Amino acid sequence: MKLKLRLIQDGKTVFEMPLSPMDWPREELEHEFDAAERDFQSFSKIFDALAHETRLKMMRRLVQQEDHTMSFADFMRDLDLNPKTVWENSKKLEEGGLLEKTGRGKYNCSEFGQAAFIMISLALRRLMESLEETESI
């Protein structure tokens, strides 16, 4: 079975890629690897921002909020965090482009942050499950 990743918008496929290197034309695969190397710094900031359980919990809370906004105090209270932990982790999320400081002690999850969080934390988990299932067949 050939596994593919497909992105669909309004019922139309906007992107499709095979998940096995054997299913890629060699030249196209090399081009994609080169592009990934060029974009490494951007990828690194996003993955670094989400590579900690506290930051994942902060993003989850933001995404769950109707207006995608929380205060510094909300993070401390809702996640039982101390001020230093909130400050350090919110800074990492800002650096990754996932969080925006909107005012004194207020944070908003950017549209990019919402999409990146869902894609990386949820979709990547499902993708890994599919790959593991394929491997066991």
- Report the distance separating Cα 61 and Cα 79, nearest Å: 9
Q: Which long-range contacts does 41-44 make (Cβ < 8 Å, 24+ apart)?
A: none
Where are the domains positioned within the chain? Answer: 53-137
Q: Give the pLDDT of residue 83.
A: 97
Q: Give the pLDDT of residue 5.
A: 85
Q: Give the pLDDT of residue 22.
A: 87
Strand 106-109 vs strand 99-103: parallel, antiparallel, or unpaired? antiparallel
- Report the distance separating Cα 25 and Cα 68, nearest Å: 42
Q: In Å, what is the CA distance from 101 to each residue of 55, 95, 97?
A: 15, 11, 11
Q: Find the largest Cα–Cα distance for the chain.
A: 53
Q: Which CATH architecture group holds 53-137?
A: Orthogonal Bundle (1.10)
Q: Give the pLDDT of residue 103.
A: 87
Q: Give the pLDDT of residue 57.
A: 96
Burial 1-10 (b: 16+ CB within 10 A, else e): eeeeeeeeee
Q: Give the pLDDT of residue 137.
A: 58
Neighbours of 59 (CB within 10 A): 25
Question: Backbone dihedral region of 69: left (phi > 0), alpha (psi from -120 to 50 degrees) or beta?
Answer: beta
pLDDT in tens, 69-102: 999 999 999 999 999 999 999 999 999 999 999 9
61 membership: H or E segment, kind and range? helix 53-64
In tens digits, the chain (137 residues) has pLDDT values of: 578 888 899 999 998 988 888 888 999 999 999 999 999 998 899 999 999 999 999 999 999 999 999 999 999 999 999 999 999 999 999 999 999 999 889 999 989 999 999 888 888 888 888 778 777 75
Helix (H, G, I), strand (E, B) or coil at 31: helix
